[in-house]
Amino acid sequence: MALSVKLRQVDEYRWEIPREGKMRTRGLIFASQKMLAKIQEDQSLQQVANVATLPGIEGASLAMPDIHWGYGFPIGGVAAFNLEEGVVSPGGVGYDINCGVRLLRTNLERPEVEPRVGELVNALFGNIPSGLGSRRKDLKLTVPTLHEVMRLGAGWAVKNGFGSKEDLDHIEAQGQIPGADPELVSDFAMNRGKDQLGTLGSGNHFVEVGYVLETYDEKAAAALGLFKDQITVIVHTGSRGLGHQVCDDYIKVMLKAAQKYGIELPDRQLCCAPLSSPEGQRYLAAMAAAANFAFANRQMITHWVRESFEQVLQMGPRDLGLELVYDVAHNIAKIEEHQVHGKKKKLCVHRKGATRAFPPGHPETPAAYQKTGQPVLIPGDMGRYSYVLVGTEQALTETFGSTCHGAGREMSRKAALKAARGRSIIQELKAQGIIVKGAGRATVDEEIPEAYKDVETVVAVAHGAGISKKVAKLKPLGVIKG
C-alpha cells in the first residue's frame, strides 16, 4: 500500500513535495498528470521525501519521469550532497553499479540489413553470453588482471585490442571513474566477476539492432552521425555479479556507519556514511572499481557486436562504420562541480536510474558534442522504440545535469509473467517485425512491452520540462535479451 505524501503541482511537468517534518529540502518530481496516478501506486514518492531527510543534501530531492519504487532511493531518483556534511548511500546508486547504455551507429541502411536480422541476432546470441549467471569460457581473468580492469575501465579493453582510442572519447568519464581501489572489493565480489567480463547478464539487459525511425533536430542528429533509416545498435548492461556484491557488502558497512555517526534514517535501506568518513571513502573507491568493470564490460561486448556484424554481413570495419555515438552510466554516484546559490561547489551526485545530461560547452561534454550537448540515451522496451536526446543548460541548473534513463517498469516481474501466460511473446513480436532471442522463455516473458511505461510519454516530459532535448527515435528490428 502506497503511503500518502502531499503533492503540489508546479507546472505541466513538475510536482513538488513540500518540505515538512524532518525533510531538509523539498521533493521535485518530473511527470505528467496522466503518469502521476501510476506513480502513486507504489511508495516511490515517499522515498523521494525520505531522501530529502539525509544530511548535507543540496537542492531538491529529485525524481525523473520514469520513477518507480527501488531499494532506499526510488529508481529515477537524483540527489546531490555537499562534501562537508553530506553522505553517500549505496541505495542511491543501486545494486547494478554503472548499469548503463551505449549506442553504436553504422554506415548501413535498413533495406540492406533487415533481411539478415535473424542471422545477426543468432550471431550476437552466440558471441555474447547472456542470462542469469552467464559467463565467458574464453576469458577468465586472473586477480591481477581483474584489478587492472577495475582501475582502467574501458581503457583496459582498448589497451588489449578490444576497440580504439576513439571509443574512449565517446564514453562518459572516458570510461574510467577516478579513485577506484580494487583492494576494497571483496574476494567474493571478485570471484563473481572474474569470468563475467563481456557478458550481458539477465533481467532488462539487452543488445538491440534497430534503425533511426525519425529525427527531430536535423543539425543535432548530423552532429551525432545519425540519419533516417540508419542501422543502430544499443548495448544495455552493467557490472554483473561483481557490482551486485559490492553493493551488498557495503550495505552491511553502511548500516553500522549510519549508527556510528548518529544519522537518523526514516528507512534502513537509506543506510549511508558521511562522504568525509573512512566508510564513505571506501565505498566510493569500491563503487568506482565496479563502475570501471561495467565500462570495460560494455566495451568488450561492443567488440563482439562488431565481430558479429563482420561475420554475418561479410564486410570490413570501414564499410560497416560501427562507431560509438556515446556510452552513459545510469547507476552511479559521482563527484562533480555544480553551481549552488551562484557559487561553484563540489558535490556527490547520486543518479539511480537517471542519466547525466550535460549541456553544450560543458567541460565534461565530449569534444565532438561541444556544440550539441552530451548525448542522452533512453531505451524503451523491446516492442516499441528508444530515444536519443542531448543535455541542456536547464538540466544543469535544475537537476544537476540529470534526466531520465528509460521507460521505467509498470509491472513487477511476477505480474509480467502472469500477463504473458498462454502467449508466445516471441511470436507476437515477430509479427511486428522484431526478432527476439532470450536465454529462456521466462526472461522474455518478464520483459513484455506492457511491463514498461510507454517511453514516448517519459521522453515527452523530459523534453517538455527542458531537462533534455529530443534528437532521434529508434525502432528495434532484432533483440537479444539477458
Burial-class residue 238 by CB neighbours within 10 Å (0-12, 13-18, 19+): buried
* Cα distance between residue 295 and residue 193, in whole Å: 13
Cα(308)–Cα(104) distance, integer angstroms: 14
Sign of CA dihedral 303, 118, 437, 449: positive
Which residue among the candidates 205, 236, 350, 405 is catalytic per the annotation? 405
| Whether the Cβ atoms of residue 327 and residue 385 lie closer than 8 Å to each other | no
Cα-based torsion angle of the residue sequence 139, 144, 150, 151 in order, rounded to the nearest 10 degrees: -130
Output DSSP code: residue 240.
H
Q: How many residues does the chain have?
A: 482
Question: Is the Cβ–Cβ distance between 256 and 117 less than 8 Å?
Answer: no
8 A C-beta contact, residue 32 and residue 9: no
171-175 long-range Cβ contacts below 8 angstroms, 24+ apart: 171/102, 171/295, 171/299, 171/324, 171/326, 171/327, 172/100, 172/326, 172/327, 172/328, 172/329, 172/356, 172/374, 173/329, 173/334, 173/364, 175/292, 175/295, 175/296, 175/299, 175/327
| CA–CA gap between residue 413 and residue 298 (Å, rounded) | 25
Residue 71 to residue 94: CA distance in whole angstroms: 7
**If residue 474 lies in a helix (H) or strand (E), which one and from where to where?**
strand 469-481
Kind and range of the H or E run holding 419: helix 413-420
Beta-bridge partners for 91: none
Cα–Cα distance for residue pair 265/424, rounded to 1 Å: 45
Q: If you ran DSSP here, which 8-state letter would residue 2 be given?
A: P
Number of CB atoms found within 10 A of residue 114's CB:
15
211, with CB counted inside 10 A (0-12, 13-18, 19+), is buried
Q: Is 463 a catalytic residue?
A: no
Helix (H, G, I), strand (E, B), or coil: what is residue 415? helix
Radius of gyration of the chain (CA): 21
Please give the positions annotated as active site: 405
